[in-house]
Amino acid sequence: MSKESKKKLTPVQLEYHHFIKSRQPERPVWKNCIIAFLVGGSICLIGQLISTFYIHMFGFDKESAGDPTVATLIFISVLLTGLGVYDHIAQRAGAGTIIPVTGFANAMASAAIEHRSEGFVLGVGGNMFKLAGSVIVFGVFAAFVIAIIKVLLKTLLGGA
């Protein structure tokens, strides 16, 4: 709580605030950060291993190996979500499981599983794409803004 908001509290509210503060367990912030870093790094390492597998086993180059690697990571994430394993990993790892591809796939699959009893169109499709819609709109808008900046910089700097 900020100092300004503490000044506005009555003595009873301050006493209650201190009481609540004394009852709250301490959060192991550094431990959580290290675990999130290690789990997120492990997910990225798995992605790199999959990419290397596609390069060596199927003759992809580095650029073209990205698409099947992402598809494989999405498949693994959705499969683990469906089996209930991803939730247990996320409980322990926290923010480490929010690597963009796997975290987004987990969020989509979780919404689909949660609302399947409402039907495929209104339940699964409607609720699954509530999340996807905002992410897609943000992605398209961000790409548009970046493209405009790139064109302006090329025009102003006279680059090729």
Q: What is the pTM of this model?
A: 0.69
Q: Give residue 3's pLDDT band: very low, low, confident or very high (50, 70, 90).
A: low
Q: Is the pLDDT of residue 132 over 80?
A: no
**Bigger pLDDT: 156 vs 49:** 49
pLDDT at 159: 62
Q: Give residue 27's pLDDT band: very low, low, confident or very high (50, 70, 90).
A: confident
Non-local (6+) Cβ contacts of 31 within 8 A are none
Q: Give residue 110's pLDDT band: very low, low, confident or very high (50, 70, 90).
A: confident
Q: Is the pLDDT of residue 1 over 60?
A: no
The answer to whether the CB of 56 falls within 8 A of the CB of 80 is no
Q: Among 49-53, 83-87, 121-125, which is the least confidently predicted range?
A: 121-125
| CA nearest neighbour of 86 among 69, 107, 117 | 107
Which string of DSSP letters, residue by residue, matches 9-77?
A: S-HHHHHHHHHHHHHSPPP-HHHHHHHHHHHHHHHHHHHHHHHHHHHHHH---TTTTHHHHHHHHHHHH
Domain regions of the chain by residue span: 27-157
pLDDT tens digits for range 49-61: 999 999 999 999 9
pLDDT at 2: 58
Mean pLDDT in residue range 133-137: 79
